[in-house]
């Protein structure tokens, strides 16, 4: 498989590293129009060709992956589209970039809109994707193989769901990091030294996530109840968090705000 990668920031470089661990990747041409120098590809692998801009692109590709920010996507697509042959499949991982927007630039070809998340950098992420009607079964399989270097891959039934996917899993790691920050601060406020508070909060979140991953057939609700003894300390804390559905309501508002922002980004294209 020959891949063209536009953008080699954190997510682009994570994908590149995963691809280079596979024998079926023949060549990856990397174009980083905005110079993410901290994540430049390993020049020691002969399959990688780095270009400063799209003018250096040569040869044919099976897939072109767009891993740039939504704000620059239109300019990148306008520059790239005339350089691609008509049969190249295009995959975008930018938030808010719709299949319609991609079609305006790339026309009647196989198009994929995908949303990975940052745990993909260690192969523990999840990516939701949706396609237009032009992909063959073989091409769809290639998309899954392209993305599963980041972790789990799920096909989303309708594109209208993609902004919600972005709000839940794309932005979701930040919610967990914010929760960990808040737990650290609460631990310090309760009288613990900073280093101990940080250690306890971080490992508690990491351990709880690992337990939930290990017990895939057990719901989060059941896991929560297993920790919560009647009349105990956990129940007292959860009463504060869940009284009048406070935590649930807060997360609904947060996810809706992220979803709305994604819709606004799409409308601005």
The predicted-structure confidence for 9-33, as pLDDT tens digits, reads as follows 889 999 999 999 988 899 999 998 6
Mean pLDDT across 37-59: 71
Residue 265's alpha-carbon distances to 53, 96, 97, 115, 172, in angstroms, are 25, 5, 7, 14, 18
> Per-residue DSSP letters for the chain?
-EEEEE--SHHHHHHHHHHTT-TT--EEEEE-TT--GGG---TTSTTEEEESSGGG--S--SEEEE-S-HHHHHHHHHHHGGGS-TT-EEEE--TT--HHHHHHHH-SS-EEEEE--GGGGGT-EEEEEEE-TT--HHHHHHHHHHHGGGEEEEE-S-GGGHHHHIIIIISHHHHHHHHHHHHHHHHHHTT--HHHHHHHHHHHHHHHHHHHHHTTTS-HHHHHHHH--TTSHHHHHHHHHHGGGHHHHHHHHHHHHHHHHHHHHHHT-
Position 38 confidence tier, pLDDT thresholds 50, 70, 90: very low
Give the domains, in start order, of the chain with CATH numbers.
2-157 (3.40.50.720), 172-266 (1.10.3730.10)
Look-up of token digits 């991953």: 213
**β-strand pairing of 63-66 with 2-6:** parallel
CA distance linking residue 93 with residue 102, whole number of Å: 11
Report the alpha-carbon distance of residue 186 to residue 224 in Å, rounded: 20
Decide if pLDDT at 137 tops 60.
yes
Residue 39, pLDDT > 70, answer no
pLDDT for residue 55 = 79
**pLDDT of amino acid 33:** 67
How far, in Å, CA of 269 to CA of 258, rounded? 17
The yes-or-no verdict on residue 179 having pLDDT over 60 is yes
Buried b / exposed e over 48-79, threshold 16 CB at 10 Å, is bbbbeebeebeeebbbbbbbbebeebeebbeb
Q: Report residue 93: phi and psi, to 5°.
A: -115, 20
Gap between the Cα atoms of 27 and 20, Å rounded: 9
Per-residue model confidence (pLDDT) at position 57: 81
Residue 268 phi/psi, 5-degree rounding, is -85, -10
CB atoms inside a 10 Å sphere around CB 148: 15
pLDDT given for residue 268 in this prediction: 74
Find out whether 29 and 8 touch, Cβ atoms under 8 Å: no
Look-up of token digits 């919600």: 164
**What pLDDT does 120 receive?**
94
**pTM, rounded to two decimals:** 0.89
Summarised one tens digit per residue, pLDDT across range 99-108 is 999 999 999 9
């Amino acid at each position: 498989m020959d891949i063209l990668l536009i953008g080699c920031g954190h997510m682009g470089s994570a994908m590149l590293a995963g691809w280079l661990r596979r024998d079926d990747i023949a060549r990856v041409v990397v174009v980083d129009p905005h110079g993410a120098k901290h994540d430049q590809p390993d020049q020691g692998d002969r399959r990688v060709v780095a270009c400063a801009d799209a003018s250096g692109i040569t040869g044919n590709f099976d897939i072109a992956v767009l891993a740039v920010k939504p704000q620059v996507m239109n300019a990148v697509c306008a520059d790239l589209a005339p350089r691609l042959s008509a049969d190249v499949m295009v995959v975008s991982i930018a938030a808010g970039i719709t299949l319609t927007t991609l079609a305006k630039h790339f026309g009647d070809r196989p198009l994929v809109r995908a949303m990975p998340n940052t745990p993909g950098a260690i192969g523990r992420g999840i990516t939701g994707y949706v396609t237009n009607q032009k992909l063959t079964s073989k091409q769809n399989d290639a998309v899954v193989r392209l993305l599963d270097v980041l972790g789990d891959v799920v096909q989303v039934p309708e594109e209208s769901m993609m902004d919600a996917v972005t709000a839940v899993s794309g932005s979701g790691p930040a919610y967990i990091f914010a929760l960990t920050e808040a737990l650290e601060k609460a631990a310090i406020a309760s009288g613990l030294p900073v280093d101990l508070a940080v250690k306890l909060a971080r490992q508690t979140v990491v351990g709880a996530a690992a337990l939930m991953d290990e017990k895939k057939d057990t719901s989060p609700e059941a896991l929560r109840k297993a920790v919560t003894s009647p009349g105990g300390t956990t129940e007292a804390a959860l009463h504060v968090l869940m009284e009048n559905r406070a935590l649930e309501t807060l997360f609904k508002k947060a996810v809706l705000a992220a979803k709305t922002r994604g819709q606004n980004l799409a409308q601005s294209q």
